[in-house]
Structure 1
Amino acid sequence: MPPSSSSSSAVARHTSGLETSWQRCASAYNLDPAQGWVADVLSGAEFRYLSARSGLLLRAATGEMRRLFSLVQGLGLMVLLADANAMILARAVDSTHVPVSRRMHLQKGAIWDEAVAGTNGVGTAVRECRPIFLGQGEHWRYCFSLLASYAVPLFDAQGGVVGALNLAALNGNSTRPLAPLVMEMLLQSGRRIEEALFRDCHVGQSILTLGTAEGCSSPLVSINGCGEVTGATRAARALIGWTDDKIAERPKLLHELEAGEAMSFQKAEESVVRSALVASGGDVMAAARSLGISRATLYRKMRAFGVT
């Protein structure tokens, strides 16, 4: 069995995938935890070819990586960005940590697929499609015993896994007392990258939120001038039950929400109304037009939700 997770409930939620990852390492991958491992690192030409496929992700994430690194640099953490195959695309690291990170192959072009590296931050995050925290001794391989990892999957505009964002520490459990705070910062960064990818995919569309983000993905939808849904993030798809085929039918957003009986749908509808009003600068007519409803209907909804 893997080591026990932290007593902190916030950290425990993000170690829930650890046991299944360890089981895969033992049963599916047949990896010996005591065996040393060196990552495959792509050549310059190979890296340029494969990283070009992640151009949208790199553009969306570069600024956020810099911002995140400025917040965690004093904690001895480096920032790593990987693609959906757990290949490291970019990193932000303090110059004093460059030599040791190079020895551990925490560098561009290194492949950290879980099937070969064992349980690790980016490899397990893209495999599990959920956040993961690995403290001292929680990586599968003993050679990573002093490596601590915080990782979240990143989702593209269609809700698919496009990569992972990772904060890595080379000094064991020094950051563990701050693990809930560090993880929350990382989740927020991941959601900002997702939103940037989503907005880039739906330029000129209205982007509305269905409520507060509670995981790796924000519940965002894009709608056209007729109030029809043209896209939805992973969280929005999960909330409403939308598929690519359903979105291709261009459903009316408020009609879909009104048809839902759960309280979450009522909250989502209120969030959409508030979001549309903010996006229109308080112009009720413009907000109603963007939602594909009449001004009278919008006023009725505003009264019902206590929106002034």
Structure 2
Amino acid sequence: MAEDDILPRPIDQNTPTTSDVRIQQSWERCASAYNMDPAQGWIADVLSGAEFRQASGRSALLLKSAMGEMRRLFDLVQGMGLMVLLADPDATILARCADETHLSVCRRLHLRKGAIWHESAAGTNGVGTCVKEKCPIFLGQGEHWRFCFSLLASYAAPVFDAQGRVAGALNLAAFSGNTTKPYAALVMETLLQSGRRIEEQLFRAHYAGHKILTLGPAEGCSSPLVALNTDGEVTGATHSSRMLMGWTDDMIKDHPNLLTELESGTEISLQKAEESVVRSVLATSHGNVAATARSLGISRATLYRKMKALNIQ
């Protein structure tokens, strides 16, 4: 990248020109915790062939679930000059979909398989900061920490595994940041939808044979899904469901009864979730009330009472 391509730093070089507190905190970490000079040249650490095979093996389920979605996403955004990256929980790039015209820039910026983009090494960046913060993030032109990434724009979203842990990050990167800025909200929502689809594939594959229910509409980077056994007990929950219900790994190991959990809450969101559960099981049981009651672990009289209260015909 030529010297005249580098954007000027703010007067206070440790304060990015953004209102996103997560980016501000990331810059603070780069300056104080990592002692990182933004003007210093950077060459990524790249895993050896054997190391990359090990990393890929650890993320085999993620790769299997994500590759089709990555190609679909790339077909949608290729015309906007965006490339698609998939990274593991250590911010190591596992896979890439990029236009051939961008390959030379990818080599120069180390956007390649096996390159480690952890925030402590690369500074504020989409993949590394997303994994660090465990939430979606958008970095516009000039918001990356290092000068050499000044023209990049990055959209990143975490992907959660079947236990609600960060399995990796899905990233859209543009080499001319301002070109996608007018469509940033649309690009981010498209990315989030792809991340949720990968999460759902991971969840359904892990809980094959279980009933999979949703607790409500998907928002953010995770869908509120739960897995139920034949007794209507919760055996698994996505990141979103865990946040909604306040479940921990130990609580899920005890197989809580979903309707009992929902009934104990008074929030409107939990009432909507209960309605969603009942409707989902009714649909799965093709409207058979007796079968639905058995699946939920309640009597038919209790189910009829709940259906009346929830205005379910």
TM-score, shorter chain, exceeding 0.5: yes
Q: 273, 276, 279: which is aligned to 1:274?
A: 279
Q: Does 1:29 align with 2:34?
A: yes
The question of whether the paired residues in 2 share the 8 Å contact of 1:2 and 1:18 is answered with no
Q: For the Cα contact (< 8 Å) 1:157–1:194, is it kept in 2?
A: yes
**Equivalent in the alignment of 1:285:** 290
Letter in 1 for 2:156: A
Cα separation, 2, equivalents of 1:188 and 1:259:
31
2:146 paired with 1:133: no
1:263 — aligned with what? 268
Question: Structure 1 residue 296: deviation in Å?
Answer: 3.0
What is the DSSP-based 3-state SS (H/G/I as helix, E as strand, rest coil) of the residue aligned with 2:55? helix
Deviates more, 1:133-142 or 1:288-297: 288-297
- Answer whether contact 1:80 1:165 (CA < 8 A) is retained: yes
The whole-number CA distance in structure 1 between the counterparts of 2:307 and 2:17 is 49
After TM superposition, the structure 1 = structure 2 runs for residues 155-304 of structure 1, keeping only pairs within 5 Å, are 155-304=160-309
- CA RMSD after TM alignment: 1.3
Structure 1: which amino acid aligns with 2:92?
A: M
1:147 paired residue number: 152
TM-score (norm 2): 0.92
**2:101 paired with 1:96:** yes
Local SS of the residue matching 2:158: strand
* Counterpart contact for 2:16–2:27, Cα < 8 Å: no
**What is the rounded CA distance, in whole Å, between the counterparts of 1:251 and 1:50 in structure 2?**
35
Amino acid at match of 1:4: T
Measure the CA separation in 1 of the matches of 2:286 and 2:194.
Answer: 26
Question: Which consecutive unaligned segments of at least 5 residues does structure 1 have?
Answer: 6-11
The letter of the residue matching 1:117 is A
Q: Report deviation, 1:301.
A: 1.9
State the one-letter code of the partner of 1:2: T
In the TM superposition, residue 85 of structure 1 has moved relative to its aligned partner by 0.1
| CA distance in 1 between partners of 2:91 and 2:27 (Å) | 17
CA distance in 2, matches of 1:232, 1:2: 38
Distance 1:278 1:62 in 2: 31
* Secondary structure of residue in 1 paired with 2:110: coil
Measured in 2, the distance between the counterparts of 1:271 and 1:137 equals 43
CA distance in 2, matches of 1:21, 1:94: 30
CA distance in 2, matches of 1:31, 1:255: 51
Paired residues, number: 300
Structure 1 residue 290: deviation in Å? 1.9
Which residue number in structure 1 is paired with residue 15 of structure 2?
Answer: 2
Counterparts of 2:215 and 2:157, CA distance in 1: 21
Which letter does structure 2 place at the counterpart of 1:290?
S
Amino acid at match of 1:144: F
Q: Is residue 2:112 matched to residue 1:112?
A: no
- Percent identity between the aligned chains? 69
CA distance in 1, matches of 2:203, 2:139: 29
Q: Secondary structure at 2:124's aligned position in 1?
A: coil
- Residues 79 and 167, structure 1, Cα contact 8 Å, conserved in 2: yes
More deviation, 280-289/250-259: 280-289
Residues 105-138 of structure 1: CA deviation (Å, up to 9, x unaligned): 1111000000010000110000000110001000
Q: Distance in 2 between matches of 1:151 and 1:299?
A: 45
User: Using the alignment, how far apart are the partners of 1:298 and 1:190 within structure 2?
Assistant: 35
Assess, with a 3 A threshold, how the Cα gap between structure 1 residues 283 and 2 changes in structure 2: closer, same or farther.
Answer: farther
The CA deviation string for residues 7-32 of structure 1, in whole angstroms up to 9 with x for no partner, is: xxxxx6xx441011111101100100
Q: Deviations over 1:140-172 (max 9, x none)?
A: 001001111000011111111111000000112
Q: Is the 8 A contact 1:2 1:138 kept in 2?
A: no
Alignment partners' CA distance in 2, 1:97 and 1:280: 51
Q: Distance in 1 between matches of 2:68 and 2:288?
A: 32
**Aligned partners of 2:230 and 2:68: how far apart in 1?**
31
- Mapped contact 1:65–1:92 kept (Cα < 8 A): yes
Which structure 2 segments of 5+ residues have no match?
Answer: 1-13
Deviation at 1:303, TM superposition (A): 2.1
Report deviation, 1:205: 0.3
Report the CA distance between 1:37 and its aligned residue: 0.7
Deviation at 1:266, TM superposition (A): 1.1
Q: Aligned residue for 2:9?
A: none
Tell me, what secondary structure is at the counterpart of 1:17?
helix
CA contact (8 A) 1:206 1:290 kept: no
Matched, 1:42 2:47: yes
Q: Distance in 2 between matches of 1:116 and 1:79?
A: 21
